[in-house]
């Protein structure tokens, strides 16, 4: 009898990777050994000092709500981190602690965009971004990007695609699924284009600490008007704790506070206490070692993929993904991903999870498993594809 499901619920696409993951899990239950290179989650557990801080917080009875924008001590610690790490002076009052970067993306979209208003973002890109826009009835406009621009938007592209309903730009630096960076001067030029049009620039930096060479500057340094989103999930290895943050312009803080009060009440309390230890220098030294392990994996994976004929046109400089063109195998990315799952027991994500632009010609390899398993995966793929 009930037929009224919201249009957005019909139109929002599921993560294809979730279907792949479910299928892979079913194969595992049936006894198959599956190598997981589909999941965007580090395989490392949360470091013990962070876990111990969570345990201490629970023992101390920190089980009640925090203020909607987070524990004052955590907001101050995040602000201090920008000073120390990036040389950018940030007021703690501009730090919004959120339930994951997901919470920050939702708050940003809710605070900034009216129904029908457009936000420009790269295609391919993180799929949830367009769905957060859809949730509040705004419109994400994917701009095709390729190796010419390291799979990132440029100031020129922003200027060309800015239309009468455009109100903002979202970039991820480095990006998912490609792990590629925007050059600092290009990001500054994008910011200038957006600012000149009275729009908003949102910069997703959740993989920013996972850049292997010299770290690029944070977009926080471009100006207080940039919304900078980050997370304790990736570099800090706290995925299941559900904690992220956003730097927002002072002018938006009252709106964001109201929205956070109503939508979330607050981020998880135990995670906020644990995050205080995650930001400490000693913890970050350890996390940098984890980053180095990811770099070793990338350095092994890239030449192996090239040998097999997977065409990674722009080497990833960070995150834990390689995005490879697969046309030479003579089938769609979805078919190839299915074949490799079924025949090689290697789970991968087809590009169709990340947009429309040449999507079914690309596959994302997540190097979120050990070097040994990555090498095993390459051997199995070689056997199946007869490269």
Site for a copy of itself in 162-181 (CB under 8 A): 167
Q: Which of 93, 255, 295, 375 binds a copy of itself (CB under 8 A)?
A: 255
Question: Among residue numbers 175 through 214, which ones bind a copy of itself (CB under 8 A)?
Answer: 195, 198-200
150 close to 178: Cβ distance less than 8 angstroms: yes
Question: Among residue numbers 2 through 31, which ones bind a copy of itself (CB under 8 A)?
Answer: 2-10, 12-15, 18
* Three-state secondary structure readout of 128-194: HHHHHHHHCCCEEEEEECCHHHCCCCCHHHHHHHCCCCEEEEEEECCCCCCCCCCCHHHHHHHHHHH
d(CA 60, CA 173): 38
* Residue in the structure block whose two tokens are 């195998």: 329
Token pair listed for 157: 């592209």
Q: Which of 36, 75, 94, 131 binds a copy of itself (CB under 8 A)?
A: 131
Residue 384 binds a copy of itself, judged by CB under 8 A? no
Residue 94 neighbours by CB under 8 Å, 6+ apart: 79, 224, 247, 248, 249, 250, 253
Residue 69's SS3 state is coil
Number of H helices, E strands in the chain: 13, 12
Smallest distance from the beta carbon of 221 to a copy of itself, in angstroms?
A: 18
Question: Among residue numbers 80 through 99, which ones bind a copy of itself (CB under 8 A)?
Answer: 99
Smallest distance from the beta carbon of 232 to a copy of itself, in angstroms?
A: 11
158 close to 295: Cβ distance less than 8 angstroms: no
Exposure string over 200-231, b if 16+ CB within 10 A, otherwise e: bbbbbbbbbbbbbeeebebbbbbeebbbbbbb
Please report, for residues 7, 127, 132, 287, the alpha-carbon distance to residue 141 in angstroms, rounded to integers and kept in the order given: 18, 12, 12, 35
Question: Among residue numbers 61 through 80, which ones bind a copy of itself (CB under 8 A)?
Answer: 61-66, 68
Smallest distance from the beta carbon of 254 to a copy of itself, in angstroms?
A: 8
Smallest distance from the beta carbon of 9 to a copy of itself, in angstroms?
A: 4
Smallest distance from the beta carbon of 248 to a copy of itself, in angstroms?
A: 11
Q: Which of 73, 93, 141, 225 binds a copy of itself (CB under 8 A)?
A: 225
348 close to 363: Cβ distance less than 8 angstroms: yes
d(CA 98, CA 114): 22
Q: Which of 26, 114, 282, 306 binds a copy of itself (CB under 8 A)?
A: 114
Residue 311 DSSP one-character state? B
Q: Which of 36, 94, 242, 357 binds a copy of itself (CB under 8 A)?
A: 242
**Beta-carbon count within 10 A of 262 CB:** 10
Residue 342 DSSP one-character state? I
Q: Which of 27, 55, 184, 358 binds a copy of itself (CB under 8 A)?
A: 55
Smallest distance from the beta carbon of 163 to a copy of itself, in angstroms?
A: 14
Judged by beta carbon, residue 198 or residue 330, the one nearer a copy of itself is: 198
Smallest distance from the beta carbon of 311 to a copy of itself, in angstroms?
A: 29
Smallest distance from the beta carbon of 54 to a copy of itself, in angstroms?
A: 5
Stretch that binds a copy of itself, among 28-36, 107-115, 156-164, 213-221 (CB under 8 A): 107-115
d(CA 81, CA 36): 33
Judged by beta carbon, residue 68 or residue 346, the one nearer a copy of itself is: 68
Q: Which of 82, 132, 207, 329 binds a copy of itself (CB under 8 A)?
A: 132
Judged by beta carbon, residue 15 or residue 286, the one nearer a copy of itself is: 15
Judged by beta carbon, residue 238 or residue 363, the one nearer a copy of itself is: 238
Smallest distance from the beta carbon of 291 to a copy of itself, in angstroms?
A: 18
Q: Which of 259, 287, 294, 347 binds a copy of itself (CB under 8 A)?
A: 259
387 close to 309: Cβ distance less than 8 angstroms: yes
């Amino acid at each position: 009898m009930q037929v009224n499901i919201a249009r957005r619920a019909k139109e929002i696409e599921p993560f294809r990777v979730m279907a792949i993951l479910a299928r892979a899990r079913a194969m595992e239950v049936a006894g198959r050994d599956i190598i997981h290179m589909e999941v965007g989650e580090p395989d490392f557990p949360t470091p013990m000092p962070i876990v111990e801080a969570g345990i201490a917080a629970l023992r101390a009875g920190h089980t009640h709500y925090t203020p909607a924008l987070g524990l004052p001590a955590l907001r101050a610690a995040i602000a201090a981190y920008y000073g120390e790490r990036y040389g950018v002076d940030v007021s703690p009052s501009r730090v919004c602690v959120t339930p994951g970067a997901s919470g920050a993306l939702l708050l940003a979209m809710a605070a900034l965009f009216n129904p029908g208003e457009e936000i420009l973002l790269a295609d391919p890109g993180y799929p949830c971004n367009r769905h957060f826009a859809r949730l509040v009835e705004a419109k994400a406009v994917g701009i095709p990007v390729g190796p010419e621009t390291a799979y990132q938007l440029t100031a020129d592209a922003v200027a060309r695609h800015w239309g009468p309903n455009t109100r903002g730009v979202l970039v991820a630096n480095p990006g998912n699924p490609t792990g590629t960076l925007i050059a600092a001067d290009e990001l500054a030029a994008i910011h200038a284009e957006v600012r000149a049009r009275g729009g908003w620039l949102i910069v997703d930096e959740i993989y920013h600490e996972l850049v292997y060479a010299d770290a690029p500057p944070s977009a926080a340094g471009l100006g207080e008007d940039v919304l900078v989103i980050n997370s304790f999930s990736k570099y800090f290895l706290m995925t299941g704790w559900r904690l992220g943050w956003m730097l927002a312009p002072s002018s938006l803080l009252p709106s964001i506070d109201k929205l956070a009060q109503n939508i979330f009440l607050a981020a998880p309390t135990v995670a906020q206490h644990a995050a205080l230890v995650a930001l400490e220098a000693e913890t970050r030294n350890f996390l940098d070692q984890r980053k180095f392990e990811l770099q070793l994996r990338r350095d092994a994976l890239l030449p192996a993929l090239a040998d097999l004929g997977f065409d990674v046109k722009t080497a990833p400089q960070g995150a834990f993904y390689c995005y490879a063109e697969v046309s030479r195998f003579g089938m769609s990315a979805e078919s190839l991903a299915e074949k490799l799952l079924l025949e090689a027991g290697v789970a991968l994500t087809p590009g169709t999870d990340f947009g429309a632009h040449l999507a079914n010609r690309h596959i994302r390899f997540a190097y979120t498993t050990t070097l040994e398993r990555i090498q095993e995966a390459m051997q199995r793929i070689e056997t199946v594809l007869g490269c």
